[in-house]
Structure formats: structure tokens, C-alpha cells
A = this chain, B = another copy of it.
Amino acid sequence: MPRRYLSLTTLADALSLMKRTFPPSNHTETVSLEQAVGRVTAQPLYARYSVPSGNVAAMDGYAVQSRETVGAGDRRPKVLVDAHRVNTGEVVPPMYDAVIMVEDVWREDGPLTIRKAASPGQFIRRAGDDIRSGDLIVPRGHQIRPFDIGALGAYGIADVPVRAVTIGLVPTGSDLVPIGQAPLPGQTVESNTCMAGAYLAGMGATCRRYGRVPDDSDAIREAVGAAVRESDLVIVSAGTSAGTRDFTTAAIADLGEVLVHGVATRPGKPVVIGSVDAKPVLGLPGNPVATQTMLRELVAPLLEGWGLSPYQQYGCTVRLARTVTSDVGFEEFVPVSVGKVNGVYSAAPHPRGGGVQMAAVRANGYLRIPASGEGFAAGCEVPVTLTVPPGYVDRTLLCIGVREQAITELADALTESGYLLHCCAADTIAALLALQENTCYAAAVMVPECEPLVRDLAGCYCPATEPVRVRIAAREIGIASRGGLGLPDLASARVATHPRGTAPRLLLDALLPDHGIDPFDLLIAAEVRSHDAAAAAVCGGLADAGICSAGAAAAAGLGFVPFGTESYELWFRPEVRDDGGMQEVLRILRSQQFSSRLGERQDYLTDRTGEFVTGAHGSLIGVSERSIS
């Protein structure tokens, strides 16, 4: 009978419980000055001696007795009888009380002359002017900046006592393989503790990664026990939920006490907070995004409370490009990409779901949805937290739509000119709606190369704007089958195809009537999400005909009868056309380098890459003619 979670705890309660239960470890370590940047001082640091230790010149010039210079003026040059050449930082002999800059002293093959009197003390740094022995350089709790290093070194600090926390990272799971090894089905690369180590080291923690522990309760208990003995805090990766192979919770319970099992967040729900020998032991979900959430929302605040260097987070208020829903009762964190659209910060969500680690990588921020809320509607203003420096957002081109390799290649090429193109995955229709609402910089769409159909799409979903269309790439669409099935044959075939509204399906439905077939009579054996899946359905015997690309058919070793083309395009508003970012986009799309790069990938047709698409191209007739020939 399945074990259920203990009643879920809110994030806020879990954190305050941890802060109450686990006071600062107050451990310190001493690091060399070179290593001290970013660390937090454990004690106030005082100057070991006075600087300068005597009176020294603040300028290159001549040490003089100021009273001897009285009366000198532009029209009354004065000869210096008693002056001593000094360079910046050199000791000024006791008998002198001022320094005159070398630029203000003349010696045309004669005596030194000045044209301006020196005031007492001028350009002299007195002993202790910079700092006196025993003065405070930086207080305790000061996060050392690179430029602080200069003063610390200059005033006698060669080693710095800093706050220290030792964290043990224990990866569990019989399915784990090390980074660098390709996982077999069911295997997972153990990168979570590497990621956690990198993140926590950034706060100044000393992390120790232990070896991978198989799903064995004794082994896990032993490993966690060992880690607790050697650490101030222990993080156990995976095995925290209610699976038959989840031993982490039990191990913590055996060794100490489980304080919390299950936090009301998404991602991150199956987290375990325990106490062993009065030290915090956290069991984090194997799901990397859940792990990230818990590191950021639970571990980092605890460590900050312990005096380590906080990560600085920067917020930003954005206009939401798409509706984001959430279940009441769960505090949810949604990866988003933020960009400036028409002068306003807009954000679009990336697809969620724990496994989608790439969403967090592609995103430049995240949206927090409180447990009390059901989410936010498109168009409303919401606060987001950035995961990049704020400056990056201003050069981010926010695209919404169909994510294909072609657009990621474009994004990669764009970085050379300083623009960051983010494409938040959505279907063509959602992309057009965002364009209509002016909440995205451009829409990435996959449309049938068939003007009337495209006109319908545009008319339905972005009637208010007359978008500029630029072609990224195209793909030949047709029928994959064991034989050479053509459109007429579909009357009596089991068909695997994309859902309605997608380019291949729109083309298919538009062409079938020419062959006396009512699209609604079509026998759909499988509705697929990719060309490969359509071809696979045929290979698997689930369907007789798969509506897919030429490349997918070829890859599956199937026959192929083309009937049209799907066009991968960027749609944007005319006012964006002369914008610097768009100019770069067009330049890259039109470069030979780019289309040859596309050619290497998938089955793109790149003959018209970068061209503006107009009504002239690919009329319905044209298409059907090509397809039937």
C-alpha cells in the first residue's frame, strides 16, 4: 500500500523551522588574501601598522619650506634656494613642510623657479593619513570585494579569517552514472551534486561530493552517517519521494529525526528535512529543477543566516505574454524568459514539468506563483526574479513559438553581436496571439506554404497587425508509407498525423477534398507530435500512412510521396523591422554560413532562408500541382 507524504509544509514554515532548529555553525577558516575575494570576514580586520609610516610626498616634485615660497606669482617668479627633489611616496625630510608639483617648477638651465606659493602641508601625506595602526579596515561580516584586497594587503593582512561551512553531498540511486558517461535507458547522469556543489561554493561553502550510493537502505544510512560526521550540513540527492526504492527518508529517520517530509512547492515537493546529531540533513528530489528550487529557496537562505555570502537576486516587473496556471496550495516557480518588447518588459513562461531541466537553462528568470493563487492571466503585470544580470534583459529578443534547431542556431549566431534570442516553446497559434498582443518581439511559426491557409491563420489570430514574415527554413511534407501511398490512397488508410491547426495537418485537410476525401472521414490511427513519431507509427504497424517530412520518412526507411511544404518563419511587427536586433537577425539568416549550418541539421530546405515571405509564394494551386506531379 503506497506510503503517502506527511501533510505538506509551506516553504516559509520549512525555512523558519530550519532557521530555528539549526543556529549558525560559526565555523571559520583562514584563507590567503588571494583566495579571500567573495568570502565573508569572520572577524573585524585592523591595520597592522600606520600608512604612511612617515610623512611622504603625494606628488612628484620638490619638497620646500612653504614660508620660503611666499610671494611667488605669475608675474613674480621666485627662485627656490632650498628644495629637495622627491617622487610620489618618498619621504619628505623633516625640515620641509610642503611639496611643489614638478610641473610647477621651472629650471631653464638655471635655478629652480616657481610662479606660485606653496601652502603649508601641500602635497604631503602625513604619517597615518591613509590609516593608523589599529584602525578598522573592514568589519566582521564583510563580503570581500576584489578592490578591498589592495587595502588589506597594503595594511598588513596576508591571511583572512572567513566564515566557513562544510557541506556533504551524497548522491543516491542505482540508476546513476558519472558525468561523461552516456546513460542507457533508465540510467541518469549524476550531475545534481556537481550542480549543488557549484552553487553552494559560490556562497563560500566548502562542498564535499561523496561517491554514488546504490538504492540500498543500509548503504545509504552508512553514507549519510559518515557525511554527517564530516560536515555542518548534509544534502542527500534523490530517493526522497514515495517510490519503492526511496530509502533516503528512512535513513534520516533511523539516524535522527525527520522534521519535514514534503514541501508544498512545485517543483520540489518531495523534499525531506531532517536533523542528525543536531545538524541539518536535507533529502532533495532527484529532479534537478526541484533540487535547484530547494537549493535556492531553502539551503541558500539558511546559509545566508549562517553568515555566508548571499546570492544577489534582481527582480523585474514584467507583462506576462501567456497565461500561467497553478494549483492552489502549491507555491510554484515557473521558468520564464524576459525581454524588452516595444519598450516594455515582457515575460513568457517555458514549458514546466520537473524533468525539463533545459527550461531553466533557457530561461533568464522565474516567476513565483503564491500557494494562494491559481496563476496569472496573459497581459497582467507580475514580478519576476532574474537569473541573469539585469543588463542582459535589455539585449534579449523575446520570441515565442515553435522551437526548432534552426532558431537555436540563429540564437547562437546572434550572441556574436551581443543579442540574446530566447524562444519560449509554444504552438503557432499561441505565438500569433502573443504577436497580436505585442508581448513578444517575434513569433516563430510553422505554417503551411499555402497563402490562403496562412491568411486564415493570420486573420484569426493576429488580425490587428500586418506582420512582416521572414523565412528561416522549410521542410517538404508528404506521405510516408511502406508502399508509395499518395493522397487518394488515404481514403482507405489508417493515418498517423499531427493534430489540427498544425502545418502538415492544415495542408493535408486542404488538399484531401481535391481527391474527393472529406478530412473528417479520415481514419486517424495516431495523433503525433513530431514527424519522426508519424513515421514510427507506420514502422510500428499502428498506421499505414504517416504524414511527415521527407527526412523523417527517409530516416525510417519508408517510401515518401510529397504533397506540400511547411515553412518555418519569424513573424514580427513592421515597426521592429529597422531595429538593431532584427537587422542582425536578417543579416545572419541571409548569410551563407547560416544556411550551410542549417543544411547539416535535420531535413531543412534552406534555399530561401532569410527571404521575406509575400503572398506571391506557394499559392494553394501551386502546392497541389507540385504535390500531384
Contact B137 A243 (CB under 8 A): no
A268 CB to nearest chain B CB (Å)? 14
Contact B146 A202 (CB under 8 A): yes
List A residues 398-446 near B (Cβ within 8 Å): 405, 408-409, 411-412, 415-416
Q: A136 within 8 Å of B by Cβ?
A: yes
Kindly identify which residue among B85, B105, B136, B415 contacts A408, using a CB–CB cutoff of 8 Å.
Answer: B136
Rounded to whole angstroms, the CA-CA distance of A152 and B191 in the bound complex is: 8
A83 CB to nearest chain B CB (Å)? 13
Given contacts A2-B103, A194-B150, contact A33 B179 (CB under 8 A): yes
**Stretch of A287-295, A543-551, A585-593 on the interface side:** A287-295
List A residues 284-336 near B (Cβ within 8 Å): 286-288, 291-292, 310, 312, 314
A543 CB to nearest chain B CB (Å)? 15
**Stretch of A216-224, A350-358, A561-569, A616-624 on the interface side:** A350-358
Chain B positions within 8 Å of A361 at CB level = 137-138, 147-148, 151
- Output the residue of A103, A185, A202, A291 with the most chain B CB within 10 A: A185
Q: A111 within 8 Å of B by Cβ?
A: no
Kindly identify which residue among B49, B189, B197 contacts A154, using a CB–CB cutoff of 8 Å.
Answer: B189
Q: A214 within 8 Å of B by Cβ?
A: no
- One digit per residue, 1 when the CB lies within 8 angstroms of any chain B CB and 0 when it does not, for chain A 80-105 equals 00000101111100000000001101
Q: A241 within 8 Å of B by Cβ?
A: yes
List A residues 131-158 near B (Cβ within 8 Å): 131, 134-142, 145-156, 158
Chain B positions within 8 Å of A246 at CB level = 60, 87
Residue on B with the closest CB to A105? B2
**Count of chain A residues with Cβ under 8 Å from any Cβ of B?**
109
Contact B198 A58 (CB under 8 A): no
A551 CB to nearest chain B CB (Å)? 13
Interface of A is mostly: loop
Q: A48 within 8 Å of B by Cβ?
A: yes
Contact B149 A194 (CB under 8 A): yes
Rounded to whole angstroms, the CA-CA distance of A52 and B357 in the bound complex is: 12
A556 CB to nearest chain B CB (Å)? 15
Q: A260 within 8 Å of B by Cβ?
A: no
Contact B412 A88 (CB under 8 A): no
Contact A416 B141 (CB under 8 A): yes
Rounded to whole angstroms, the CA-CA distance of A224 and B450 in the bound complex is: 67
Chain B positions within 8 Å of A390 at CB level = 312, 314
A509 CB to nearest chain B CB (Å)? 22
Contact A136 B191 (CB under 8 A): no
Contact B185 A91 (CB under 8 A): yes
Rounded to whole angstroms, the CA-CA distance of A182 and B183 in the bound complex is: 58
- One digit per residue, 1 when the CB lies within 8 angstroms of any chain B CB and 0 when it does not, for chain A 550-579 equals 000000000000000000000000000000
Contact A180 B192 (CB under 8 A): no
Chain B positions within 8 Å of A405 at CB level = 134-136
Contact B286 A89 (CB under 8 A): yes
Given A89-B186, A147-B361, 10 more A-B residue pairs with CB atoms under 8 Å apart are A56-B185, A87-B246, A88-B243, A89-B188, A129-B355, A130-B355, A139-B411, A150-B291, A153-B194, A314-B390
Q: Which residues of A contact B (CB under 8 A)?
A: 1-2, 4, 33-34, 37, 44, 48-49, 51-54, 56, 58, 60, 85, 87-91, 102-103, 105, 107-108, 125, 129-131, 134-142, 145-156, 158, 175, 179-180, 182-192, 194-195, 197-199, 201-202, 241-246, 286-288, 291-292, 310, 312, 314, 353-358, 360-361, 387-391, 405, 408-409, 411-412, 415-416, 601
Q: List 29 A-B contacts (CB under 8 A).
A: A1-B108, A4-B103, A33-B194, A37-B201, A37-B202, A52-B185, A53-B183, A60-B243, A85-B244, A88-B241, A91-B185, A125-B355, A130-B355, A130-B357, A131-B358, A134-B601, A135-B405, A138-B361, A141-B416, A145-B387, A146-B202, A147-B292, A147-B361, A150-B194, A151-B357, A151-B358, A154-B189, A156-B180, A156-B189
